[in-house]
Amino acid sequence: MTDNFTWNRKDFLSIEDLSKDELETIFAYADQFKQTLDRTQKKLPTLRGKTILNLFMEPSTRTKVAFEIAAKRLSADVITITGDASSLSKGESLRDTAKNIAALNADVIITRNSHAGSAYYLSKIVDIPVINAGDGAHEHPTQALLDCFTLRDHFGDLKGLNVTILGDILFSRVARSNIWALQKLGASVTLAGPATLVPKKFEEFGVKVHHDVETALKNSDAVMLLRIQHERQSSIHFPSLGEYTKMFGLNKKRAALLKPEAIILHPGPVNRGVEIDSQLADSEKSVILKQATHGIVCRMAVLFLCATAAANNLMNKISANE
């Protein structure tokens, strides 16, 4: 394993908090774990005896499954609780749920919740590590990890890359985490989409904002597409989905404006024919399925670092009391 172990955090809550060195540490471990993907025997004994609790209060395919696979590949036991299947649906508070999960001897809690700040809240309630798998429109930090890991895998380095994030930025936790991650790693970020979903105020984060999609795509090394997040919108932000596709959807003509070697990313789920032309989603330029695979190794790295730091802190506490 890598020697530059510089992880001192209990939790993994946001990209905004992290330094470039911490991002590089995660990638160094993810690089190591990536080598196991093609092996016949994919399991490592690293987290044997640990129990990982996946608490998913919002729908998920990629994140939930990738965390489960990541935990299993590290030989941890993993339990997933989703939506109505938990006693939250019977009126139990999130606080009591978390306290009971910790009392049931879980070693790590992974949480997805529609409320921004919920992962931070849980991290203050329990002594075990809390990993944010998406909190409302705030952050989706492991998504940004796998997105940047995919760009790094393709280009070698993110320094100097022009990355355009196109779509519903306002309601997107993926966009927020990527704005931090991409800039920390040296990329320039452009946000594009309708003015109602891409407010100029985002320029405060050091990014460019364009409402003209063609201008935004020109000279981009990569475009990250986002779907319209209807589940977080309480009002209408554009005339119709058809109108949105016509004005902002990525089609062949618009993709031709990207740099010749440019790649297309999408966190999923993809709404084919809305934010992206279906053929483009399956084209050579698309790295959408690679992103899903990289989600396993980035989450293995985060689980490993958080669980190991927790074990080291416990050992230090025990030694101090002896």
Given a contact cutoff of 8 angstroms between Cβ atoms, the answer to whether 113 and 60 are in contact is no
Residue 173 CB: number of other CB atoms within 10 A? 23
- In one-letter notation, the amino acid at residue 65 is V
186 binds ligand CP (CB under 6 A): no
114 binds ligand CP (CB under 6 A): no
Residue with smaller CB distance to ligand CP, 102 or 174:
174
Q: Draw the binding track, 249-278, toward ligand CP (x: CB under 6 A; -: no contact).
A: ------------------xxx---------
> Cα angle vertex 278, ends 276, 283, to 5°?
95
Nearest to 270 by CA among 235, 224, 221, 320: 224
CA 202 to chain centre: 20
60 binds ligand CP (CB under 6 A): yes
172 binds ligand CP (CB under 6 A): no
Beta carbon of residue 282, minimum distance to ligand CP (angstroms, whole number):
18
Stretch that binds ligand CP, among 62-70, 163-171, 191-199, 250-258 (CB under 6 A): 62-70
Residue with smaller CB distance to ligand CP, 119 or 310:
119
Strand order in the sheet with 130-135: 77-82, 51-56, 108-113, 130-135
Stretch that binds ligand CP, among 20-28, 57-65, 175-183, 301-309 (CB under 6 A): 57-65
Residue with smaller CB distance to ligand CP, 153 or 188:
153
Nearest to 118 by CA among 145, 98, 90: 98
- Stated length of the chain: 322
Interface with ligand CP (CB under 6 A), residue from 54, 63, 188, 190 = 63
Beta carbon of residue 113, minimum distance to ligand CP (angstroms, whole number):
13
167 binds ligand CP (CB under 6 A): no
Residue with smaller CB distance to ligand CP, 168 or 309:
168
| Number of chain positions touching ligand CP (CB under 6 A) | 11
Interface with ligand CP (CB under 6 A), residue from 10, 62, 115, 232 = 62
Residue with smaller CB distance to ligand CP, 50 or 140:
140
In our burial notation (b when 16+ CB lie closer than 10 A, e otherwise), range 66-94 reads bbbbbbbbbebebebeeeeebebeeeeeb
Which uninterrupted H or E stretch holds 166?
strand 162-166
Residues 6 or more apart in contact with residue 263 via CB below 8 angstroms: 151, 154, 221, 222, 223, 285, 286, 287
Beta carbon of residue 161, minimum distance to ligand CP (angstroms, whole number):
21
List the beta bridge partners of residue 131. Answer: 12, 110
Q: Draw the binding track, 124-163, toward ligand CP (x: CB under 6 A; -: no contact).
A: ----------x-----x--x--------------------
Residues 6 or more apart in contact with residue 65 via CB below 8 angstroms: none
| Of residues 214-253, those binding ligand CP (CB under 6 A) | none
83 binds ligand CP (CB under 6 A): no
Beta carbon of residue 111, minimum distance to ligand CP (angstroms, whole number):
13
Beta carbon of residue 321, minimum distance to ligand CP (angstroms, whole number):
41
> Token pair for residue 158?
């993110």
Which positions lie near ligand CP, rule CB under 6 A?
60-64, 134, 140, 143, 267-269
